[in-house]
């Protein structure tokens, strides 16, 4: 089975934690990073 790598980007900590919890419990998915804010020029 292929493994998919994922970066979670959301400005709400609780949302990122919930998504990570689900992904960490799912075979074939791996969180490799998180972002809380975006850079705007």
Does 25 reside within a domain?
yes
The domain in which residue 22 lies consists of 4-35
Give the number of domains in the chain. 1
On the CB side of 33, how many CA atoms lie within 13 Å of its CA? 5
Q: Does the pLDDT of residue 32 top 70, yes or no?
A: yes
Does 41 reside within a domain?
no
Which pTM was predicted? 0.78
Does 27 reside within a domain?
yes
Q: Does the pLDDT of residue 29 top 80, yes or no?
A: yes
Does 40 reside within a domain?
no
Q: Which of 2, 36, 30, 1 is nearest to 16 (CA)?
A: 36
What would the pLDDT profile of 5-28 be if each residue is shown by its tens digit?
999 999 999 999 999 999 999 999
Residue 1 or 13, more confident: 13
Q: Which of 15, 16, 8, 14 is nearest to 34 (CA)?
A: 8
Place of tokens 């949302």: 15
């Amino acid at each position: 089975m292929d493994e998919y790598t994922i970066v979670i980007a959301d400005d709400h900590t609780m949302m990122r934690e919930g998504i990570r919890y689900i992904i960490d419990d799912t075979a074939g998915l791996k969180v490799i990073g998180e972002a809380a804010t975006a850079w705007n020029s």
